[in-house]
Amino acid sequence: MSDEKSPGFEEAPAAFDADYDERSAAADADVAADRVVTHSEVRKWLLAVGTQDEFPMPESWLK
C-alpha cells in the first residue's frame, strides 16, 4: 500500500480545528483576566442541584 494521495485530493481541516487558535487565545485571555470558576465551586453547585439545598447558579459565572 502507498501513502500517496490521488491527484487532486486535498485533505480538508477538521471543523473543530478551524477556529482552534481563536478559541485558545480567548481562553488564555479569560484565565489571565481571572475570569474562571474553580472546580470546587462548580462541584459544590452541581452537588446541590436537585436537593433541598439547591441554589441558583451564580450570575457572576455568566460574565
Q: What is the pLDDT of residues 7-52, one digit of tens each?
A: 666 666 666 666 677 888 888 898 999 889 999 999 999 999 999 9
6 pLDDT above the threshold of 90: no
pLDDT at 37: 92
d(CA 31, CA 37): 10
Model pTM above 0.85: no
Helix/strand/coil for 55: coil
Burial 36-50 (b: 16+ CB within 10 A, else e): eeeeeeeeebeeeee
pLDDT category at 60 given cuts 50, 70, 90 is confident
Helix (H) or strand (E) holding 11: none
Look-up: residue for cell 439547591?
A: 54
